[in-house]
């Protein structure tokens, strides 16, 4: 399966472990990713707020690159490819190291899920995809209220305390419900939930220490890829508890 691939600027800058783990997992899953090296940032945040027309133009340019290749566009957030293109049965068949005993809290965030009636899309139940992938790799999903709420990243430059408080609330809720780790497909959520977690713990005045995995890292562990190749040692919050638990 071939895709025009846009990894985004966060996965190649602030969180390069996401880019590297995605490349490892893609090879095992049989995904041929044609990276759009000349594509620009989406403009999310400051640019989209100051000049939304320019941000839209940049994204149209990226879509045009994929269209020129005649390929569907996949970004590093759109790991629903696992469910809709590869299929969960095939994924289960590729698992070499079932993540039995690992309790994982799914974090969708506020940008991945959209109201199907508003967008006019097909209405597939994508609000359960993370749980289904977690189960397919042998782990146990941990449900919690904040899984589809904002991680706080969009306001981190405008109201840092509130941003960190939001992240801390989600992490503490998941941890208090027995999660060993949290998983998210969104690099921005990963950046706030992992990279800012020590600061969030300071704001909440409670220790947290919950490992946050990018979805390809969780899948990669189940596929038998060594943790160091998935760059689990590059996280701000130690992932050692995860690797110890899965053996």
Statement: residue 78 has pLDDT above 80: no
Instruction: List all residues 6 or more positions away from 219 whose beta carbon is below 8 Å from its beta carbon.
Output: 25, 82, 91, 133, 137
Statement: residue 25 has pLDDT above 70: yes
Confidence of residue 121 (pLDDT cuts 50, 70, 90): low
Asked if CATH classification 3.40.50.11810 holds for the domain at 2-245, the reply, yes or no, is: yes
State mean pLDDT over 133-159. 94
32: left (phi over 0), alpha (psi -120 to 50) or beta: beta
Transcribe 156-199 into DSSP letters. Answer: TTT-HHHHHHHHHHHHHHHHHTT-SEEEES-HHHHIIIIITHHH
**The two structure tokens encoding residue 188:** 């921005």
Higher-scoring residue by pLDDT: 127, 94: 94
Statement: residue 46 has pLDDT above 80: no
Confidence of residue 158 (pLDDT cuts 50, 70, 90): confident
Confidence of residue 44 (pLDDT cuts 50, 70, 90): confident
State mean pLDDT over 191-199. 96
Confidence of residue 55 (pLDDT cuts 50, 70, 90): confident
Cβ atoms 203, 167 nearer than 8 A: no
Q: What's residue 52's pLDDT?
A: 86
Tokens 């320019």 correspond to 54
- Residue ranges of domains in the chain: 2-245
Transcribe 100-133 into DSSP letters. Answer: TT-EEEE--TTTS---HHHHT-----GGGHHHHH
Confidence of residue 47 (pLDDT cuts 50, 70, 90): confident
Confidence of residue 157 (pLDDT cuts 50, 70, 90): confident
Statement: residue 48 has pLDDT above 80: no
> Chain-wide mean pLDDT for the chain?
92
Burial of 115 (0-12, 13-18, 19+ CB in 10 A): exposed
Statement: residue 119 has pLDDT above 70: no
Confidence of residue 115 (pLDDT cuts 50, 70, 90): low
Q: What's residue 76's pLDDT?
A: 87
Q: What's residue 62's pLDDT?
A: 94
Distance, in Å, from the CA atom of 20 to the CA atom of 70, rounded to the nearest integer, reads: 25
State mean pLDDT over 121-128. 72
What residues does 141 pair with on adjacent strands? 104
Statement: residue 28 has pLDDT above 90: yes
């Amino acid at each position: 399966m071939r895709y025009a691939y846009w990894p985004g600027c966060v996965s190649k800058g602030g969180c390069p472990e996401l880019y590297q783990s995605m490349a490892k997992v893609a090879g095992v899953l049989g995904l041929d990713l044609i990276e759009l090296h000349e594509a620009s940032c989406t403009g999310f945040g400051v640019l989209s707020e100051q000049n939304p027309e320019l941000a839209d133009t940049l994204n149209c340019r990226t879509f045009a690159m994929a269209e020129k290749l005649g390929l569907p566009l996949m970004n590093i957030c759109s790991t629903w490819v696992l469910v809709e293109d590869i299929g969960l049965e095939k994924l289960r068949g590729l698992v070499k190291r079932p993540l039995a005993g690992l309790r994982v809290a799914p974090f969708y965030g506020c940008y991945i899920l959209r109201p199907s009636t508003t967008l006019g899309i097909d209405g597939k139940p994508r609000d359960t995809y993370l749980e289904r992938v977690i189960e397919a790799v042998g782990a146990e999903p941990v449900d919690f209220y904040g899984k589809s709420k904002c991680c706080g990243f969009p306001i981190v430059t405008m109201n840092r305390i509130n941003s960190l408080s939001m992240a801390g609330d989600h992490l503490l809720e998941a941890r208090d419900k027995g999660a060993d780790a949290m998983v998210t497909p969104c690099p921005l959520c990963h950046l706030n939930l992992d990279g800012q977690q020590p600061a969030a713990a300071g704001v909440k005045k409670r220790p947290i220490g919950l490992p946050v995995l990018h979805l390809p890292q969780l899948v990669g562990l189940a596929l038998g890829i060594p943790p160091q190749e998935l760059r689990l040692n590059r996280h701000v919050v130690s992932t050692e508890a995860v690797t110890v638990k899965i053996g």
